Amino acid sequence: MTALVSGVVLDVVVMASDGPPVWLLAAGPAGAVATYWALFRYYRNTDKSHSYERDTIIEAKPVQGGREKIDHISKTRRSGIDGDNSSRHRQRVNRLR
C-alpha cells in the first residue's frame, strides 16, 4: 500500500518538468491502488452498512430555517467550501444544548 502511494508521489516529482503531460505516468500506480481497493471492498465489504436514513419509514414536516450573509470571498482557488459535510449525514459535529 504505502509503497504504491509513494510510487505515485515519486513519479509526479521526478517527472515534473516541461514537456509532454508527464502526470500520465501516475496512471500506473494510481490504477494499482484503485484496483487493490476495489477488489478488497468487493470481497470484504467493510464500507457497507444499513442505510436507515433511506430504508426507514420517515415522515417529516416542512424544513424551516434561514440564511444570513456574513462574508464575501473575492478570490479563491477552492472550487467548494472547506469541510463540506452536507451529504455526510453520519459525520457528527458539535452538539447544541
Applying CB under 8 A, the residues found at the interface with other proteins are 4, 19-22, 24-25, 27-33, 35-36, 39-40, 42-46, 48-50, 52-61, 63-87, 89-90, 92-97
Rounded-to-integer distance, Cα 14 and Cα 23, Å = 10
CB 34, min distance to other proteins, A = 8
From the CB of 18, what's the least distance to other proteins, in Å?
A: 8
Helix, coil or strand: residue 17: coil
Q: What are phi and psi of 45, to 5 degrees?
A: 55, 40
The least CB distance from residue 87 to other proteins, in Å, is 6
- Reference 23, options 36, 8, 5, 1; nearest CA is 8
